[in-house]
Structure 1
């Protein structure tokens, strides 16, 4: 569904043709910038199908378009179907980034649908309008495990006899609910894992048990630049939602905590298609007219006080920490109302699924790899970290989204940051031990140990300059001073430097949390040094989830035994079984 998307039409069409869609059916309503004319020309060229969205009285544009699409031959004769908005671009990590491989893998698993979770992409601090491709301009996104951004769209095998189209997912027609048809539905999530049974009937968001981004995600560019947002706010939207584009909506959608450049893999294919489209003189003229309209509209807007007031408000909204964002006004969950809406089949299946989970719990899903820190932390300014300082165990930490990920901010707000390590580590370290920490992050554990275990001698190292700067300020805020028994390494260390460096320091306990350390690097370290206690945690595990078996093999070969007491999904704790040959005892 599109309304006044003229500047973006060619990129959206070219991108989705490039990844393998064969038929694009676009419904437009009330366009004033030539969007409909561009799509009509694309249809004349055989590259898309344009349809007018005739909206019955009392119905919103988007549901109206879906009703029309349900009776559209191009849609009903398609094998796989997905419902899109113009600010959504499919991003495939699977294989070569094409639909053919993604769908082939799903079919090989016996699946007939893929539930694809949104990844919210923000403005990246861009204010000015630019005609450059959206998927190149905006490369900063919300963390993967920020659940407020977990809306979904569904790519599925379509059969109009059994399915009614929906915005986020199709709905099984009522007459098939009490048949065997629901048993034939097998949908996967974005990581290729089977969805839970309840999602066959309802739901439009992923939950912790079902979210996945490993193979495919849906990039949602809801805001773009401030200028783009200003134009959109005054344009209206396909759902006619009153005052949707306000500062609260901006704060929700302008998430820039992590960098994601996956879309750049399509640049060559997409640009070639855009170039070919612009060779058509009619389409080229329509495209450039749409760009000119934007420039003219912005020239007009920039002279108005309302524009400058909006810009000021949006810039302020961008500073809202992700941990303080509210997706919608709080609305109490009403189990009775939900139960009343559920069919008898859903109720029975829901009860059965709950029983099955209790009797045979599913294998735990590994946490998403956002961890405690953003992909690109930003160092605090001279005034110190942003946000309120909150007590966590023995220390105060700042609610600073420049230094911490969204899940970490939530944990800090509850006083539970790195709770497992903070509780257990002081208990297991030997008396008067020499502890070396590589990848100390914000320094929370080191400072916590300095408070609780003054007998320890600690050397801490953090390669990321922003986290290192934050570490220094956290220590200062908590009045913890560096001294001979609590040293901060000044030098930069690469993984290749670590074996010699660690051997020279000869620690009793070694904590490794630097994501750059590979299994081969770990083997080199343990070939040069033999600490009695070894902890692998943090970014090392987050960045290398798919290689845990390799780390385990290295640890076993070096004579280290696993010891219970830590969450194995967060920390690998090992002790040396015996002194390796030719190593000190």
Structure 2
């Protein structure tokens, strides 16, 4: 066999993983990560009975990888145990770059180079020493039966990239055991170096090559809207595969000894097939070449064939049992759960006080002249161009007692799933009456089709609303939706489709918003798209009639930045944040207006 490990100009680029009974998939996983450019692959194993250990030992004999037994101390779970061993492993301590990830995760390098080296070239050129890579959750693709076909070729459908339940991360970073403690999602700075100045040197990029938020140096294992990105890399997470593959995993246990992990709820969470994503297939030809070369070794070929045959024999036995049939039926049913209905355990909230203290200690860390990171675009529930006609075949679904069109011409894929489940913008629609209080004239900027506005109008017969949205086609679609819900009275609900964005000859954003404010003279302004109107622009507007500003939040993480930005800009105008606001929105109140609203 002529296969050699890759050589990198960045030194040792090491993959560290831990496995239990992964033999049927091991060679594909191994070949794939040689193909993308890892120079070294180290795998820890525990309690294997399917040939995984023997295959890894043979790969080590061939000089292509490294295997270590995961000796687990009493009371310690396998995964933390493996990380503890890796922390002290000389091979890891001598590595230049390290990425810790699991056997059901495949790195997809979307960077133009198609290689880890090319991605690191650009990261290092930006002065970065880490890349935070976000998961993409890949489902079963409707596959029930076992197959020997490659994982990355069988399962090509995934959750939408903006589905935040799938935003766990893995971190490729420059490793120094003196400063870093390994973690499954990201490393942590050793306590003794938190105040030594080391944190000043940490500069991590997201999966699109943009700088990560400052807090992430200290805490966090998930991306947020401001940090999401897939242009350079994503970690394809094949947690379920086919129904029969999933059955094998359930009946053999898992690397963390979670006894009921592989149930129908977990399947519903992980079996996401809403969009097609085949970017990882750019690596398929090289992976296939490497795997073919691996199988030229008679020992590996025999072990691989035995692993496949053993799995197929186990499945043949399972198929005859009532337990298997019940599991199969429950998984198929769980796979039909709409994405909007999927529940997931919420992430552990970081301690904002502690993180703030740490960030204060390392304030001023951004080097002089370093450009500010470009923020990713916020999630938009509407397609680039919205189109809705009054056809008899339009499917209308009730959301908060309002009928919405379940049409891909109106909503993005993620939003459409929520519409069909009756949960579109549910939190804000439920709370809008309390949020608006005694408002009489509401200007809703970026209000989309107007679900929240219509809920507010039904709750308050005195309320008058101007609904503005500049996205192409949305104003026309909104008018059809309003008529469908018998709310087309323009004296109470006026729709404006004028632009609020920058124009070729100057800030049309400011002129457009000012015109709406002067024309309508609202006492309440709702920024349904807060990123479209910056706080400085807003503070310069004619806000003399305004008593209340409402900023809906997509996630708790948004509140941190928005609260700071808008509070400081509006304080000089007499606005203060309302402590009684619902958790889904920021509300700023002004005690009195210079001019009463008409």
Q: 1:416 to 1:367 in 2, by over 3 A?
A: farther
Offset at residue 414 of structure 1 (A)? 4.1
Match of 1:405 in 2: 413
Q: 1:285 to 1:370 in 2, by over 3 A?
A: farther
Match of 1:390 in 2: 399
Offset at residue 199 of structure 1 (A)? 1.4
1:367 to 365, 377, 383: 377
1:349 to 355, 358, 363: 358
Offset at residue 125 of structure 1 (A)? 1.1
1:240 to 257, 263, 286: 257
2:39 to 18, 22, 25: 22
Query: Which structure 2 segments of 5+ residues have no match?
Result: 1-17, 366-371, 385-391, 431-444, 455-464, 517-526, 534-598
Match of 2:482 in 1: 448
Could you tell me whether the CA contact under 8 Å between 1:141 and 1:255 is conserved in 2? yes
Match of 1:314 in 2: 331
Match of 1:72 in 2: 89
The aligned runs of 1:6-405 (5 Å cut-off) are 6-328=23-345, 342=354, 346-350=355-359, 365-367=375-377, 371-372=381-382, 389-391=398-400, 395-396=403-404, 405=413
Q: 1:384 to 1:256 in 2, by over 3 A?
A: farther
Query: Which structure 1 segments of 5+ residues have no match?
Result: 357-361, 375-381, 430-436, 456-508, 512-532, 537-547, 572-585
Could you tell me whether the CA contact under 8 Å between 2:405 and 2:481 is conserved in 1? no
Counterpart secondary structure, 1:420: coil
Offset at residue 178 of structure 1 (A)? 1.4
Match of 2:11 in 1: none
Q: What is the distance in 2 between the residues matched to 1:6 and 1:99?
A: 25
Q: What is the distance in 1 between the residues matched to 2:467 and 2:69?
A: 69
Q: What is the distance in 1 between the residues matched to 2:145 and 2:39?
A: 34
Could you tell me whether the CA contact under 8 Å between 2:271 and 2:335 is conserved in 1? yes
**What whole-Å deviation, never above 9, does each CA across 1:149-192 have from its counterpart, x for those lacking one?**
11111100000111111111111112111111111111111121
Could you tell me whether the CA contact under 8 Å between 1:20 and 1:99 is conserved in 2? yes
The aligned runs of 1:408-427 (5 Å cut-off) are 409=418, 411-414=424-427, 420-423=447-450
The answer to whether the aligner puts 1:563 opposite 2:512 as a matched pair is yes
Q: What is the distance in 1 between the residues matched to 2:196 and 2:510?
A: 53
Counterpart secondary structure, 2:148: coil
Q: 1:354 to 1:68 in 2, by over 3 A?
A: closer
Q: What is the distance in 2 between the residues matched to 1:313 and 1:406?
A: 24
Counterpart secondary structure, 1:411: coil
Normalised to the residue count of structure 1, the TM-score between the two structures is 0.68
Aligned residues: 452
Offset at residue 297 of structure 1 (A)? 0.7
Q: 1:372 to 1:294 in 2, by over 3 A?
A: farther
Could you tell me whether the CA contact under 8 Å between 2:199 and 2:362 is conserved in 1? no
Could you tell me whether the CA contact under 8 Å between 2:499 and 2:512 is conserved in 1? no
Could you tell me whether the CA contact under 8 Å between 2:227 and 2:376 is conserved in 1? no
**What whole-Å deviation, never above 9, does each CA across 1:359-405 have from its counterpart, x for those lacking one?**
xxx8883435674479xxxxxxx99969x72147x5345699x9863
Q: What is the distance in 1 between the residues matched to 2:411 and 2:225?
A: 24
Q: 1:90 to 1:169 in 2, by over 3 A?
A: same
**What whole-Å deviation, never above 9, does each CA across 1:534-566 have from its counterpart, x for those lacking one?**
879xxxxxxxxxxx99xx66xx79x99983469
Could you tell me whether the CA contact under 8 Å between 2:131 and 2:207 is conserved in 1? yes
Q: What is the distance in 2 between the residues matched to 1:419 and 1:186?
A: 35
**What whole-Å deviation, never above 9, does each CA across 1:422-444 have from its counterpart, x for those lacking one?**
35999689xxxxxxx99789966
Normalised to the residue count of structure 2, the TM-score between the two structures is 0.67
Counterpart secondary structure, 1:326: coil
Match of 2:571 in 1: none
Q: 1:30 to 1:332 in 2, by over 3 A?
A: closer
Q: What is the distance in 2 between the residues matched to 1:24 and 1:331?
A: 30
**What whole-Å deviation, never above 9, does each CA across 1:180-230 have from its counterpart, x for those lacking one?**
111111111112121122211211111222222222111111001100001
Match of 1:492 in 2: none
